[in-house]
Chain A
Amino acid sequence: MTENWLAGQRAAFAACRGALPGAGTPWVDALRAQAFRQFEEDGPPSPKVEEWRSGPTAALTRQVFAPAVPAGPHPAPVPAPYLAGPRHRLVFVDGRYSAEHSDPGELPAGARLTSLGALLAEDPSAARELVGDPEAFAEERLSLVTDRRPQALVALNTALVSDGAVLIVDNGVALAHPVEVVYLAGAATVPSAHHLRTLIALGAGARASMVEVHAGGSGSVWTNHVTEIALDASARLEHVRADAGTRSAVRVDVAHARLQAGTAYAGFVMAGNTGAVRTETRLVLEGAGADGEINGLCLAGGSGHIDALTRLDHCAREGTSRQLWRGVFGDQARGAFQGRIRVLAGASGTNAALDNRNLLLGTGARAESKPELEILTDDVACSHASATGQLDEDALFYLRSRGLSEQTARAVLMAAFTGSVADRIADGDVRAFVRHLVDDRLNALGSAAS
């Protein structure tokens, strides 16, 4: 099975490498070749790899997803803008930038919003600074074992990436409006892979807000999305990654952020694909006094599967981090949350909090929660809480005894359970958009569950 899958990736790489963006640029070709070799050595993730124990590895290898080159023959209608107010919008269709559907608008001087394809064509040296060496994503465990396998799909992404959004903001520049990036997948009927890479680099003191939305797809689509983020001293980024009615078979979504001194990263994940999702967020607080926040909602019904992993590495003193995750699982859906907080020697004065709660609708759904603290220094305040349960029967009866129908009462309680997470999004338009997505998703789960 795995052999077959690997052979499929090999064939795909051989077939499309010459046509991928940056082909012919020596460092790009070398990087892709190195990344592919690395991927071949590590193989697709399996449950034997600790970080993928509850990941959608079976769904991933059940079909031999090959890159869709060129764009697939089943275009999906391009959705209207998600954010109500002014925005800078980039649309990617089947893994490639669509100038026709994009509307980047006016950016302030010192801010650059483009596609990876364009950057590689126009300014490859700028791209070179932003794209990480796949080797560098390796997992370093408490046991001091360094394992590359958890990041095998990042390596494959590096080898096969077709496009993605790039936001580069110079020192001190602030974007007044959020950036809306739409990754739209067509309703492919043959197994298709989209390898997307978003790059965000904010200079010292820069500020921006970016929303990445996944839409479309089908049971034959695998989206493999990596977002690399570098925040220079005191930069602030609000970063939302969301499913807007995505129907992909598998969506893998990895964000790696490096936070320098005094930076603030406020991340939010809304996972609500109808298929399987693996969402990963790794924040490395490299500079003193950095603040990392990563909150998420995992909302699955049917036979959906959402596997969320976070890892916060506190490497410098006085760092703060918060994680607030809520999962709602109906029907036969499965959820898993692994949240790791690691406080390295020297990161004194760290304050880290993690709170994960899951709600199961009905008896067929399952969820597991695994917070992990690795604390290698004194003088830290770390807290974690996790719980999984059903809707509170007393609260349901209370609401019904006041006249709410059972379905409305359930919806009210589900909204209350998830509401505090979306409330933390600072940008009003972004918050409104996310709330709308969450309401839609909960409605679908609620009406299926009652």
Chain B
Amino acid sequence: MSEPLLRIRNLRASVDGQEVLKGIDLAVAAGEVAAIMGPNGSGKSTLSNVLAGRDGYEVTDGEVRYDGRDLLDMEPEERAAAGVFMAFQYPVEIPGVVNATFTRTALNAQRQARGESPIDAIDFLKRARETLGRLEMDEAFLRRDVNAGFSGGEKKRNEIFQMAMLEPRLAILDETDSGLDIDALRIVAMGVNAMRDGRRALVVITHYQRLLEYVVPDSVHVLADGRIARSGDRELALELERAGYAAFQPA
């Protein structure tokens, strides 16, 4: 079997001197959708942040290989250019920065880093409009400041919009379904499914089975107390929905 797109081995990480990730092992192959579920505070967002390269997390052991490279050795923007995307659990509001300008700057920064030519404003706008249309988002979102004053659901949709525009190879969605109404959930799920082309990998962090009805995962992993406590197929998600995490809570 060929090397998975993402391989995490014995990853340990601390925040403020406290160990949060206590030896994570996880492999996600190109084309795979891996769901991560787990109780609040178990380390799911910490794992996403470490993968995206956020400051403030001290990796004390283990390694993460992405597409044959040492992911932990790369700057956040290098990871982005290499195709890693994280949809934030809490997208940041950036007043004063226009969504369209930002998304185009990001896209062109990535293209430049990959040695590709920049996309011009007209082509960008065309693609952005199509993408917004698919996500049933109003074009006004392009002109508004990044996430500023967006409702919770709008922020999540904006993350999916950016993902669709940036076309990452590995997308980590941190509770993108939380706070979405039923229609929005369906639309977001459709946006996610549109990424499934057999080459990209998706890590979907969620608390709810509902998203996984739309985005059917290839594997489901339970993250509890900083470790992958159990892995299985989609049946595991259904089981968790019934039984909760009691079996995984530290005594």
Q: B96 and A403: CB pair below 8 A?
A: no
Kindly identify, within residues 147 to 171 of chain B, every residue whose CB is under 8 Å from any CB belonging to chain A: 162, 166
Q: B105 and A406: CB pair below 8 A?
A: no
Q: B94 and A401: CB pair below 8 A?
A: no
**In the complex, what distance in Å separates the CA atom of A415 from the CA atom of B98?**
11
Report the interface size for chain B: residues with CB under 8 A from the other chain: 30
Instruction: Name the contact of B81 in the complex, choosing from A393, A403, A413, A417 (C-beta under 8 A).
Output: A403
Kindly identify, within residues 184 to 223 of chain B, every residue whose CB is under 8 Å from any CB belonging to chain A: none
Take A401-B53, A404-B106 as given contacts and tell me if A395 and B92 are in contact as well, using a CB distance cutoff of 8 Å: yes
User: Which residues in A have their C-beta under 8 angstroms from that of B81?
Assistant: 403
Which A residues are closer than 8 A to B by beta carbons? 392-395, 397-406, 408-409, 412-413, 415-417, 419-420
Q: A403 and B92: CB pair below 8 A?
A: no
**In the complex, what distance in Å separates the CA atom of A1 from the CA atom of B96?**
47
Q: B75 and A398: CB pair below 8 A?
A: no
Q: A403 and B88: CB pair below 8 A?
A: no
Cβ of B41 within 8 Å of any chain A Cβ, yes or no, is: no
Q: B106 and A397: CB pair below 8 A?
A: no
Cβ of B80 within 8 Å of any chain A Cβ, yes or no, is: yes
User: Which residues in B have their C-beta under 8 angstroms from that of A408?
Assistant: 105, 109
User: Which residues in A have their C-beta under 8 angstroms from that of B113?
Assistant: 403
Q: A397 and B80: CB pair below 8 A?
A: no
User: Which residues in A have their C-beta under 8 angstroms from that of B109?
Assistant: 402-405, 408
User: Which residues in B have their C-beta under 8 angstroms from that of A413?
Assistant: 94, 97
Chain B 42-86, CB within 8 Å of chain A: the 1/0 string?
Answer: 000000000011110000000000000000000111011100011
Q: B77 and A400: CB pair below 8 A?
A: yes
Q: B97 and A400: CB pair below 8 A?
A: no
Take A398-B92, A412-B97 as given contacts and tell me if A403 and B77 are in contact as well, using a CB distance cutoff of 8 Å: yes
Q: B96 and A417: CB pair below 8 A?
A: yes
Cβ of B102 within 8 Å of any chain A Cβ, yes or no, is: yes
Q: A406 and B94: CB pair below 8 A?
A: no
**In the complex, what distance in Å separates the CA atom of A413 from the CA atom of B103?**
14
User: Which residues in B have their C-beta under 8 angstroms from that of A393?
Assistant: 55
**In the complex, what distance in Å separates the CA atom of A419 from the CA atom of B110?**
25
Instruction: Name the contact of B76 in the complex, choosing from A394, A397, A412, A417 (C-beta under 8 A).
Output: A397
Q: B102 and A399: CB pair below 8 A?
A: yes
User: Which residues in A have their C-beta under 8 angstroms from that of B88?
Assistant: 398
Q: B91 and A398: CB pair below 8 A?
A: yes
Take A397-B54, A397-B55, A412-B105 as given contacts and tell me if A402 and B80 are in contact as well, using a CB distance cutoff of 8 Å: yes
Query: Distance (Å) between the CB of A385 and the closest chain B CB?
Result: 14
User: Which residues in A have their C-beta under 8 angstroms from that of B53?
Assistant: 400-401
Mind listing 15 A-B residue pairs with CB under 8 Å? A397-B55, A397-B76, A398-B91, A399-B102, A400-B77, A401-B76, A401-B77, A402-B80, A403-B107, A404-B109, A405-B109, A412-B97, A412-B102, A412-B105, A413-B97
